Structure 1
Amino acid sequence: METKKYQIQKNPFVVPTADGKLIEEHHGIVATNNPEISIAHMIAPPGWSEPFQTPEFDEYTYVISGKKQFIIEKDTITLEAGQSIKIEKHTRVQYSNPFDEPCEYIAICKPAFDFEKVHREE
């Protein structure tokens, strides 16, 4: 019997959130039992923000629509639709959408996103 060398994801894991943000993990620890990489489709509502964190993984973000704000160490950066960024692991960062429209984006973490390795501040 031949093993398929591909996997189509038709049923991403929807991460439960309390802040109105949509997180659909297509590949990663929870969705596909893959600790090497995670790929998630996200929509952050206007006014959304997370605490600062210093993750043990590289994170890539590609903005599909809207804008997303990043505070990276001491720099504040805004990405717009069509732009992307890589933030290296062990970098203190805060993600937010202080704007008046939703921000849709793709986030890729390598190795995969892991709550035990994100190190969010209280």
Structure 2
Amino acid sequence: MTKKKYTLQNNPFVVPTNDGKVIKEHFGIPTTGNTDMSLAYMTAPSGWSEPFQTPEFDEYTFIIKGQKQFIIDGETVILKAGESIKIEKNTRVQYSNPFSEACEYISICTPAFSIDLVNRED
């Protein structure tokens, strides 16, 4: 029997949150055990924000719908649908959606997202 050279993901891991954000991790530590990279589809509701953090991974974000605000080393960057950004590891950043519409986006982290590597501020 020939081993398949692809992995179809139709049952992503839904990360538990308490801030209204929906995170569906398709590939990464909880779904495949892969520590090299993770891929997640997310929806951030209007008014959502996270504390500042300094992740130990590169993060690529592609906006599907709506807008997302990034404060990166003190600079405010706003991405709109169809735009993308790479934030290098060990960069202080805050993510938020202060806009009236929910934001849908895809995030890829290398190495894979892990709460132990996020370094969120209190």
| C-alpha distance in 2 between matches for 1:100 and 1:4 | 44
Q: Where in structure 2 are the equivalents of 1:1-122 lying within 5 Å?
A: 1-122=1-122
SS in 2 for 1:30: helix
Question: Per-residue deviation at 1:2?
Answer: 2.0
Deviations 1:58-95 (A, max 9, x none): 00000000000000001000000000000000000000
Distance 1:38 1:117 in 2: 13
Structure 2: how far apart are the matches of 1:10 and 1:81?
24
Q: Residue type of the partner of 1:92? A: R
SS in 1 for 2:59: strand
Structure 1 ranges of 4+ moved more than 6 A: none
Distance, in Å, in 2 between the alignment partners of 1:87 and 1:119 is 15
User: 1:6, CA displacement in angstroms?
Assistant: 0.7
Whichever residue aligns with residue 42 of structure 1, its letter is M
Tell me the TM-score normalised to structure 1 length.
0.98
Question: Identity, % of aligned pairs?
Answer: 66
TM-score by length of 2: 0.98
**Structure 2: distance between partners of 1:26 and 1:44:** 17
Equivalent position amino acid for 2:69 in 1: Q
User: For the aligned residues, what is the CA RMSD?
Assistant: 0.5
* Matched position secondary structure for 2:107: strand
- d(CA) in 2 for partners of 1:108, 1:47: 23
Aligned residue-pair number:
122
Partner amino acid for 2:17?
A: T
- Structure 2 distance, partners of 1:10, 1:86, is 26
